[in-house]
Amino acid sequence: MSPTTTTPTRAILASEPKPQGHIPGSNWTIQDILVPTTLKDGELLIEMLASGICHTDLLITSIPRHPHYPITYPRVAGHEGAGYIRAIGPNVRNKDLVVGDPVLLSYYSCMDCITCKLGRPNHCPSFGYNVIGQPDAFKSADGQTDVAGSFFGQSSFANLSVVKESSVVSAKNLIEKPEELKLFAPLGCGLQTGAGSVLKIAKAGEGDSVMVSGLGGVGLAAIMAAKIAGCHEIVGVDINPSRVGRCEEFGATKALNTQNLPDLAGSLKQAANDGRGPDIFIDTTGVSAVQQAAYKSLANGGTLVLVGASPDPVQKLDIDVRDMMTRCVKVVGCIMGDSNPEVFIPELVKYYREGRFPIDRMTTFYKAEDFKTALHDMHSGETIKAVLEW
């Protein structure tokens, strides 16, 4: 059923990427589009105040149309939104949500399956909706063309967007002053993913040496979480000198620049536990060679947590089963840090208030129309976490 009423809004629109040689983000433009104001069951109309940029936004708008991926263009990404409720659709179950309330946005889950009911929404079989979204969530300004959206149930790269109830976390009791709402925007994806990989998946503790590769927002959140967990050694790894240079400020006890190392696996092993290798390795790079070296570098009994994904449609890890058995190592996939946003976001806000999760030190704000500068600064390492303001 097509929406009966719409209203214009500004959005970052991604057009179809070139099949070869595409530069992530080069297909993004700011445009006026139409957003439905006739809400369906379980939907809310949210006016965005801000949205973090996450690598998944770049990844998902870099995939050309393919028979195996029902992704259509143009589309609106954005999945670290923060804003205000402007309208509430029929059958929204959370009766505490009120028009005007501040909210943080996270990922979609069906709310009805057994895993959702058990409080593990990131294991929901409908998780794929987050990536695929809806092909006709918006319309072009002339009303003639469908624009895909509902990315992570939110598509927060639009000033106004229709958001699924499961993606909404009330921020009414989380923010102490209005400016905090935009700072907390990335909690809904990147920051809870990084922190959850250490605290929820690896369940790190004092006895652990933790190594984190890729020192963007996700990686630094993992480092801050390892410090919260009291890990005796925390090693930050990257190839960008400015990122390597800053990780100690967030709790790393050691920093390692792995650019041009002839034996990556050997160097990673050497850098942790006096040469025994890390007990926990969090890879946020998604680079196959790094993941392979990380696996090899693990201490006996160690855990490799795979957090980053490559834009490559096929990505494999080569594992010798006997080696895995004799070393008793584990490889674990991580989506959203195994966290339930309703529970984990307030926990992270508490750590922020205690000064143990200093996300303000890694965040740079940009006007939404300056998204190209934000992408440039993220790429160069000048900014760690970019947040766009609408």
Positions that interact with Zn ion (CB under 5 A): 54, 56, 109-110, 113, 116, 124, 189
- Could you count the other beta carbons within 10 Å of the beta carbon of residue 69? 13
Q: Tell me which H or E stretch contains 198.
A: none
Angstrom distance (rounded) from CA 50 to CA 88: 20
Q: Write down the least CB distance from residue 186 to Zn ion, Å.
A: 8
Residues ≥6 apart with Cβ < 8 Å to 209: 231, 232, 233, 234, 235, 272, 273, 278, 279, 280, 299
Q: Write down the least CB distance from residue 217 to Zn ion, Å.
A: 9
Contact 93, 159 (CB under 8 A): no
Residue 36 or 286 with smaller CB distance to Zn ion: 286
Residue 130 or 291 with smaller CB distance to Zn ion: 130
Q: Write down the least CB distance from residue 116 to Zn ion, Å.
A: 3
Six-digit token string for 303: 């855990």
Q: Write down the least CB distance from residue 109 to Zn ion, Å.
A: 5
Q: Write down the least CB distance from residue 298 to Zn ion, Å.
A: 26
Q: Write down the least CB distance from residue 114 to Zn ion, Å.
A: 8
Q: Write down the least CB distance from residue 280 to Zn ion, Å.
A: 21
Q: Write down the least CB distance from residue 112 to Zn ion, Å.
A: 6
Burial class (CB in 10 A: 0-12, 13-18, 19+), 153: buried
Contact 30, 15 (CB under 8 A): no
Q: Write down the least CB distance from residue 225 to Zn ion, Å.
A: 16
Contact 151, 60 (CB under 8 A): yes
Residue 162 or 189 with smaller CB distance to Zn ion: 189
Residue 151 or 281 with smaller CB distance to Zn ion: 151
Residue 150 or 209 with smaller CB distance to Zn ion: 150
Residue 56 or 61 with smaller CB distance to Zn ion: 56
Residue 116 or 187 with smaller CB distance to Zn ion: 116
74 preceded by cis ω (within 30°)? yes
Angstrom distance (rounded) from CA 98 to CA 101: 6
Q: Where are the alpha helices (DSSP H) in 62-179?
A: 114-117, 129-132
Residue 131 or 272 with smaller CB distance to Zn ion: 131
Q: Tell me which H or E stretch contains 85.
A: strand 81-88
Which residues are registered as beta bridge partners of 254? 235
Residue 23 or 118 with smaller CB distance to Zn ion: 118
Angstrom distance (rounded) from CA 17 to CA 24: 8
Angstrom distance (rounded) from CA 308 to CA 20: 22
